[in-house]
């Protein structure tokens, strides 16, 4: 077992990264319902926190993929986990400052990969886990967009003879359920990722003799994420729910239902995907179904740029930081 103070510091970094996840990622799950004014920000945060916690208890398949499926866990050390968390915290905080939603999924995967490559080289990578990452990219990018696009087209066709005031009233109620579904989906996928990292650190630190996900770890990480959402999620909510496209309750319902469906499908197969990507592309899908000019593509371009930069930046930071730690020790 490694020195307890060192392990405590690393666990603290993981919780910090989960807190930042609440800033930048969990806020996506309530961005649309806040922007449509169906729920107040305070009520939306409370709902998101509760449903995220419930979602994290719905399974551990994604947590297991993160901890044991991306890189060989036997080649990792507690220092590599620490380096990955520092990379995530730095990049995600920088993006949050400019109101850009980043993918904590990709930040975590690239951070752990960069650290592992610094220790053991390419042999540390597990192709089976990376297949799931690539499938997750497809789910979040294409499935999110087209599910939302076609769902809204079907809704528009079915409601073409319904008055706009009635549509807003009906979907104002329905959106509460779709937002709850989205928050639950976020917990079942994104919420599990740092739970996997925390459980991996306990294993590497010698606290547990085999990889497992204790219930207290799930609760602790879920609470850290919920607090992060309530403290700093508003910048991301503004970008996703206001700047990217103008949303009414019917749009928000289509976005959340499509995104949450894609996320839940991935979660049941242990596929880690980005909820940021999924709900962003769902918003673009609903906007495009009304006409391409309904999406503010300048904002979309900035969001996509943040996505593309996450993998190389987090991976590089974690790689060189791990090299520095190895040199010092």
Render pLDDT for 84-127 as a digit per residue (tens, 0 to 9). 999 999 988 887 777 666 777 788 889 999 999 998 888 888 98
Contact 22, 221 (CB under 8 A): no
Average pLDDT over residues 50-66: 81
Pick from 32, 296, 251: nearest CA to 152 = 251
Contact 118, 326 (CB under 8 A): yes
Render pLDDT for 252-285 as a digit per residue (tens, 0 to 9). 899 999 999 999 888 888 888 888 788 888 988 9
Whether the predicted pLDDT of 1 surpasses 60: no
Q: Residue 2: what pLDDT?
A: 59
Contact 29, 52 (CB under 8 A): yes
pTM of the model: 0.81
Displacement of CA 129 from its chain's centroid (Å): 17
């Amino acid at each position: 077992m490694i020195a307890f103070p060192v392990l405590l510091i690393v666990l603290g970094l993981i919780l910090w990264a989960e807190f930042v996840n609440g800033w930048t990622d969990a806020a996506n799950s309530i961005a649309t319902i806040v922007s449509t004014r169906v729920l107040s920000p305070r009520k939306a945060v409370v709902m998101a926190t509760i449903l995220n916690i419930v979602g994290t208890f719905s399974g551990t398949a994604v947590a297991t993929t993160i901890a044991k499926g991306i890189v060989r866990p036997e080649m990792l050390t507690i220092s590599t986990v620490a380096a990955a968390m520092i990379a995530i915290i730095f990049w995600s905080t920088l993006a949050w400052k400019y109101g850009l939603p980043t993918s904590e999924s990709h930040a975590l995967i690239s951070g752990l990969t960069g650290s592992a490559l610094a220790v053991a080289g390419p042999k540390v990578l597990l192709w089976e886990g990376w297949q799931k990452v690539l499938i997750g990219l497809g789910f979040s990018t294409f499935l999110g967009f087209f599910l939302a696009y076609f769902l809204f087209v079907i809704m528009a066709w079915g409601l073409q003879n319904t008055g706009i005031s009635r549509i807003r009233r009906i979907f104002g109620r329905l959106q509460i359920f779709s937002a709850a579904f989205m928050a639950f989906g976020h917990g079942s996928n994104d919420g599990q990722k740092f739970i996997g990292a925390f459980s991996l650190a306990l294993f590497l630190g010698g606290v547990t003799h085999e990889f497992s996900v204790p219930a207290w770890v799930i609760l602790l990480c879920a609470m850290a994420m919920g607090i992060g959402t309530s403290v700093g999620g508003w910048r991301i909510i503004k970008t996703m729910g206001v700047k990217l496209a103008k949303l009414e309750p019917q749009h928000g319902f289509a976005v959340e239902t499509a995104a949450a469906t894609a996320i839940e499908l991935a979660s049941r197969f242990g596929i880690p995907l980005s909820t940021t990507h999924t709900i962003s592309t769902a918003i673009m899908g609903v906007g495009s179904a009304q006409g391409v000019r309904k999406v503010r593509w300048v904002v979309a371009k900035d969001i996509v740029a943040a996505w593309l930069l996450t993998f190389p930046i987090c991976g590089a930071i974690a790689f060189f930081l791990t090299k520095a730690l190895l040199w010092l020790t």
